[in-house]
């Protein structure tokens, strides 16, 4: 495919480590640029579902993930271009990094790190530094971040959590010594953040008006403390994107048939974890995607032929989910294909923390004190409505719950020599989060199963 180069201004917001204020600056930057009249495309490095919700609220368009592990590094630049094109062409893209600039998949030498993505999309980096208890060492840290990978261009820094005007002056002087521009300075008292809990920030969908207030405050903060003209100049220094935009229709090979089965996709405050590309792929494969909220909708959407229940926080909303007996009964009786990931797995079980759920899967689930987190290389154990036996998929686990039994017979996946998940009848359910842009055959297979 011949692609016309597109001069998309873009910048990656990164940090030396988690906790330096990336989300604060990236979200505020999205909101501040939008206020200026820019059409801003929001993106997040890594598998995280929560930050993109805040990005979407600030930018007014879907927040999208760029994760080389989940989708393959060859698709990252195309997915950036796609996200910056749909629903309308953006005039700047802001990409929030993950963890520290050079932190990626464990044991894979920085693969899927923020630095890796910055290289793949040829974007300059705006480095956020938490300057608490730091003086001239902040300049050494910035210099080390840049020197570690010369292919990653750090175009400037935002000094976060400055203690006083004297502290700021010291930091600016030190960074001038190493020719690193300071594009913003935020005091400790001005810091604004969204509330957190056991798996990170509280999702936007759970907070409604409070989320809007937080995002507005972040836009105010960045507008007052960051040189937006300098950030725009840095973003415009990125070279044109030469790769074609990722195309969901091309990825799935077009519709599976003339029928357009209704694919019900769970959403609402309890099920906030999902990638925009999933619904785009299901639509391109010939499905009619209809959202439903298990907290409020008393039945599946009319004409439902398949169901997708992704991740989220059912443990937070367990009593309200249990109280919706109409929908639980509808799902218990539904005999079409179902794909469930993590929260969906818990919701389909008999009970969660002793509270009744849908009962489609013969398992119980409980909160535990242990966090299970990390990238996985999985192989589909058997044929199912979403995968063929032997399909190799890269995914991600992120949960503090466990199930009894721990897996089905047959399981959904195998990795590291062990079995995971459940395949029973026309249900595929497991803890593994996947990004279907990396294996679009899953969308085509599900729509085909719904058509049958």
Query: What is the reported pLDDT for 257?
Result: 78
**CATH number of the domain within which 262 lies:** 3.40.50.880
Query: What is the reported pLDDT for 204?
Result: 67
Instruction: Give the end of a domain, one of 213, 237, 261.
Output: 237
Q: How confident is the model at residue 3 (pLDDT cuts 50, 70, 90)?
A: confident
Residues contacting residue 445 through CB under 8 Å, at least 6 positions apart? 385, 386, 387, 388
Is 429 among the domain residues? Answer: yes
Q: How confident is the model at residue 42 (pLDDT cuts 50, 70, 90)?
A: very high
Asked if 271 and 224 sit in the same domain, the reply is no
Instruction: Give the end of a domain, one of 196, 215, 237.
Output: 237
Residues contacting residue 452 through CB under 8 Å, at least 6 positions apart? none
Average pLDDT of the residues of the chain: 94
d(CA 35, CA 223): 9
Mind listing the pLDDT tens digit for each residue in 10-39?
Answer: 999 999 999 999 999 999 999 999 999 999
| Residue 23 backbone phi and psi in degrees, to 5 | -65, -40
Decide: helix, strand or coil at residue 430.
strand
Is 1 among the domain residues? Answer: no
Please state which of the ranges 59-73, 195-209, 406-420 shows the lowest mean pLDDT. Answer: 195-209
Domain of 423 in residue numbering reads as: 248-451
Residue 351, beta-bridge partner list: 356, 364
Asked if 272 and 348 sit in the same domain, the reply is yes
The domain total for the chain is 2
Does the pLDDT at position 208 exceed 90? no
Is 356 among the domain residues? Answer: yes
Is 4 among the domain residues? Answer: no
Does the pLDDT at position 202 exceed 70? no
Is 96 among the domain residues? Answer: yes
The set of catalytic residues is: 342
Is 2 among the domain residues? Answer: no
User: How many residues can be counted in the chain?
Assistant: 452
Instruction: Give the end of a domain, one of 237, 269, 300.
Output: 237
pTM score, two decimals?
A: 0.94
Residues contacting residue 289 through CB under 8 Å, at least 6 positions apart? 263, 265, 279, 282, 283
Mind listing the pLDDT tens digit for each residue in 113-141?
Answer: 999 999 999 999 999 999 999 999 999 99
How far apart, in Å, are the Cα atoms of 420 and each of 47, 320, 361, 404?
A: 20, 28, 14, 12
Does the pLDDT at position 213 exceed 80? yes
Asked if 190 and 136 sit in the same domain, the reply is yes
Asked if 261 and 157 sit in the same domain, the reply is no
Asked if 220 and 331 sit in the same domain, the reply is no
Asked if 231 and 259 sit in the same domain, the reply is no
Does the pLDDT at position 194 exceed 90? no
d(CA 281, CA 428): 18
DSSP track, 205-247: GGTTHHHHHHHHHHHHHHHHHB-HHHHHHHHHTSPPB-SPPP-
Residue with tokens 């109409």: 326
Is 5 among the domain residues? Answer: no
Asked if 49 and 80 sit in the same domain, the reply is yes
d(CA 282, CA 249): 9
Asked if 103 and 171 sit in the same domain, the reply is yes
The share of the chain scoring above pLDDT 90, in percent, equals: 87
Quote the tokens at residue 100: 């520290």
d(CA 33, CA 30): 5
Mind listing the pLDDT tens digit for each residue in 232-286?
Answer: 999 999 999 999 999 999 999 988 878 899 999 999 999 999 999 999 999 999 9
Asked if 77 and 172 sit in the same domain, the reply is yes
Handedness of CA 3, 70, 440, 377 (dihedral sign): positive
Query: What is the reported pLDDT for 2?
Result: 57
Query: What is the reported pLDDT for 206?
Result: 60
Handedness of CA 442, 376, 435, 242 (dihedral sign): negative
Is 73 among the domain residues? Answer: yes
Asked if 133 and 164 sit in the same domain, the reply is yes
Does the pLDDT at position 152 exceed 70? yes
d(CA 154, CA 151): 10
Asked if 210 and 283 sit in the same domain, the reply is no
Quote the tokens at residue 108: 């894979």
Residues 31 and 218: beta-carbon distance below 8 Å: yes
**CATH number of the domain within which 53 lies:** 3.40.50.300
Residues contacting residue 105 through CB under 8 Å, at least 6 positions apart? 69, 111, 112, 375
End-to-end C-alpha distance for the chain, whole angstroms: 33
Mind listing the pLDDT tens digit for each residue in 74-118?
Answer: 999 999 999 999 999 999 999 999 999 999 998 888 999 999 999
Q: How confident is the model at residue 197 (pLDDT cuts 50, 70, 90)?
A: very low
Query: What is the reported pLDDT for 195?
Result: 54
Query: What is the reported pLDDT for 185?
Result: 96
Asked if 232 and 255 sit in the same domain, the reply is no
Query: What is the reported pLDDT for 205?
Result: 61
Q: Averaged over 140-149, what is the pLDDT?
A: 95
């Amino acid at each position: 495919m011949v692609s016309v180069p597109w001069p998309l201004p873009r910048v990656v917001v990164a940090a030396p480590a988690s906790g330096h204020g990336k989300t604060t600056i990236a979200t505020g930057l999205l909101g501040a640029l939008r206020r200026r009249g820019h059409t801003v495309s929001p993106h997040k490095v890594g598998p995280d579902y929560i930050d993109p919700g805040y990005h979407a609220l600030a930018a007014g368009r879907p927040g999208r993930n760029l994760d080389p592990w989940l989708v393959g590094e060859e698709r990252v630049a195309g997915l950036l271009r796609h996200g910056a094109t749909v629903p309308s062409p953006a005039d700047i893209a802001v990409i929030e990094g993950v963890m520290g600039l050079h932190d990626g998949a464990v044991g894979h030498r920085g693969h899927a790190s923020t630095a890796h993505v910055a290289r793949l999309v040829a974007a300059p980096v705006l480095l956020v530094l938490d300057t608490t208890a730091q003086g001239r060492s902040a300049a050494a840290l910035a210099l080390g971040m840049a020197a570690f990978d010369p292919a990653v261009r750090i175009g400037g820094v935002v000094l976060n959590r400055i203690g006083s005007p004297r502290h700021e002056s010291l930091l600016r002087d030190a960074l001038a010594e190493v020719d690193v521009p300071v594009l913003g300075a935020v005091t400790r008292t001005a810091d604004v953040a969204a509330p957190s809990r056991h798996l990170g920030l509280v999702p936007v969908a759970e907070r409604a008006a409070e989320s809007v207030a937080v995002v507005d405050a972040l836009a105010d903060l960045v507008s007052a403390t960051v040189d937006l003209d300098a950030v725009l100049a840095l973003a415009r220094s990125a070279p044109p994107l030469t790769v074609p935009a990722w195309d969901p229709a091309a990825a799935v090979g077009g519709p599976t048939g003339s029928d357009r089965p209704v694919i019900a996709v769970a959403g609402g405050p309890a099920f906030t974890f999902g990638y925009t590309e999933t619904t785009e792929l299901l639509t391109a494969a010939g499905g009619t995607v209809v959202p439903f909220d298990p907290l409020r909708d008393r039945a599946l959407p009319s004409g439902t032929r398949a169901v997708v229940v992704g991740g989220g926080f059912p443990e937070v909303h367990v009593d309200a989910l249990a109280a919706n007996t109409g929908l639980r009964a509808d799902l218990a009786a539904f005999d079409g294909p179902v794909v469930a990931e993590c929260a969906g797995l818990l919701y389909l079980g008999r009970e969660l923390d002793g509270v009744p759920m849908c009962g489609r899967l013969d398992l119980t689930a409980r909160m535990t004190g242990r966090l299970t987190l990390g990238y996985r290389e999985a192989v589909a154990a058997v044929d199912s409505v979403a995968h063929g036996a032997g399909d190799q998929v890269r995914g991600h686990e992120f949960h503090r719950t466990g199930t009894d039994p721990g897996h089905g017979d047959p399981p959904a996946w195998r990795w590291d020599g062990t079995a995971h998940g459940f395949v029973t009848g026309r249900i595929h359910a497991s803890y593994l989060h996947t990004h279907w842009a990396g294996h679009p055959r899953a969308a085509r297979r599900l729509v085909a199963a719904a058509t049958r």
